[in-house]
Amino acid sequence: MINRENYEIWFIDYFDGKLSPEQTAELLLFLEENGDLKLEFDSFSNITLPEQDVKFENKMSLKKKCCWRRKF
């Protein structure tokens, strides 16, 4: 149940597409009843992060050498 203590996570889940249709309806009703939070809700939709193509060229240097051997 959404309330003034947990509404931020509901906002995030909404914009991440994680809410069910029932939860979305509950969120929208909450916003109607708490108009002062509507501006904050709308500000979440303006947040975007640019996609980055990050590659680490030396992945093998991250692997640790194993110090044991299996005995069968």
Which residues neighbour 63 within 8 Å (Cβ) at sequence distance 6 or greater? none
Q: Which residue has the tokens 């194993």?
A: 66
Tokens in use for 67?
Answer: 């110090």
Quick check: 13 pLDDT over 70? yes
- Crossing angle of helices 21-33 and 7-15, in 10° steps, is 130
Cα 6 to the center of its chain, rounded Å: 14
pTM as predicted? 0.63
pLDDT of residue 70: 67
- Residue-wise pLDDT for 14-69, tens only, equals 999 999 999 999 999 999 999 999 989 988 776 677 888 888 888 788 777 777 66
